[in-house]
């Protein structure tokens, strides 16, 4: 990217969700309006039978967890890069052990070398808020696990909030509403562990009793079932890929446009404030899992990595002998 080019991404979260890029103060052609899709236009049910229910308008879907099963759905197409989002309302009341996931993956095609980009919503006991975790896996790098975890500034059970993933060849940005909460820039240090193969988009609800709340201490209590997660404003805007050849079906120029999307200074400032206040776990600061941090962590704040006071206290406790669970991100923070 030429240094003389001054690129900003303005993300307007209205009904049509247009994205614009400004270069040297002038608007240039970029993504068309990001209109929402009906469920039948873009998705198919994965599992759950009657635990997936469509609203009469076809644009809102409920997935639920009960003693019998969870539920899930997936995009009909594979995508190589794009902007993917949904407005989600999480189950209320006691939700310990419940996991709601909104994510991209190709694990069904690449069992040992899969890529994945996750929003995982982790339920909690009554009186404690849901937590949000983001994960990034590339080329089967689940043993490294680039997890981060956050609190929220709102109650995600009271209303819908938008969660979005922007994925390009150069960077990955996670958004909550209009705030970027995490950016991962492709670096030589990550090598082939930056997600690079076509993925589908998924949404699921399931029983994570063995790890999701306090490392498995609190289980799903089916007395409060069904646990219902609601999805609306579904957006799939990406470069679709032929499922047989794995070649993009979009024009080359359309595929490249995502590479030029970045953040405005205001968005970057908002991200830094969010991370300093609400991030409670970051893999780059986990000295139990990684005595020597992964190489990309050396870029520090340039990659938007910030250590919160809560994180520092957590690591201090663990250095003094607290038991290490499934991984450090699994503890109730």
Residues assigned a catalytic role: 116, 120
Contact 267, 299 (CB under 8 A): no
Residue whose token pair is 């709601």: 100
CB atoms within 10 A of CB 157: 15
- Give the C-alpha distances (Å, rounded to integers) separating 318 from 61, 218, 255, 284: 41, 20, 45, 15
Cα 297 from Cα 134, distance rounded (Å):
16
Beta-bridge mates of residue 136: 117
Cα 301 from Cα 279, distance rounded (Å):
14
Show the tokens assigned to 294.
Answer: 């992964």
6-12 contacts: CB < 8 A, separation 24 or more? 7/260, 7/261, 7/262, 8/262, 8/263, 8/264, 8/265, 9/261, 9/262, 9/263, 9/264, 9/267, 10/264, 11/175, 11/178, 11/267
64-69 contacts: CB < 8 A, separation 24 or more? 64/205, 64/225, 64/226, 64/227, 64/228, 64/229, 65/91, 65/98, 65/205, 65/206, 65/207, 65/220, 65/225, 65/226, 65/227, 66/222, 66/225, 66/226, 66/227, 67/222, 67/225
Show the tokens assigned to 243.
Answer: 């499922």
């Amino acid at each position: 990217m030429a240094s003389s080019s001054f690129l900003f991404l303005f993300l307007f979260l209205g009904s049509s969700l247009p994205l614009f890029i400004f270069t040297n103060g002038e608007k240039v052609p970029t993504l068309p309006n990001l209109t929402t899709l009906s469920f039948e236009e873009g998705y198919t049910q994965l599992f759950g039978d009657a635990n997936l229910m469509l609203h009469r308008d076809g644009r809102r879907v409920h997935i639920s967890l009960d003693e019998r099963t969870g539920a899930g759905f997936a995009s009909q197409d594979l995508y190589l890069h794009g902007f993917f989002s949904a407005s989600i309302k999480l189950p209320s009341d006691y939700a310990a052990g419940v996991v709601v996931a909104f994510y991209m993956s190709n694990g069904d095609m690449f069992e040992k070398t899969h890529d994945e980009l996750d929003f995982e919503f982790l339920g909690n006991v009554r009186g404690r808020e849901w937590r949000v975790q983001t994960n990034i896996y590339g080329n089967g790098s689940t043993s490294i696990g680039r997890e981060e975890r956050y609190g929220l500034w709102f109650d995600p059970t009271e209303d819908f909030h938008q969660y979005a993933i922007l994925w390009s060849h150069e960077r990955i940005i996670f958004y909550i509403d209009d705030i970027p909460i995490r950016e991962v820039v492709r670096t030589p240090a990550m090598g082939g562990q930056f997600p690079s193969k076509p993925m589908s988009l998924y949404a699921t609800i399931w029983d994570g009793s063995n790890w999701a709340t306090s490392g498995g201490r609190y289980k799903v209590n089916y007395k409060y079932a069904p646990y219902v997660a609601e999805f609306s404003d579904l957006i799939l805007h990406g470069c679709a890929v032929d499922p047989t050849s794995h070649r993009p079906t979009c024009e080359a120029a359309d595929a490249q446009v995502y590479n030029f999307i970045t953040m405005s200074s205001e968005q970057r400032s908002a991200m830094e404030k969010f991370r300093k206040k609400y991030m409670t776990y970051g893999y780059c600061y986990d000295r139990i899992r990684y005595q020597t941090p992964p190489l990309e962590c050396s870029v520090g704040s340039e990659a938007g990595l910030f250590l919160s006071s809560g994180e520092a206290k957590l690591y201090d406790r663990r250095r003094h002998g607290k038991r290490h669970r499934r991984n450090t991100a699994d503890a109730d923070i």
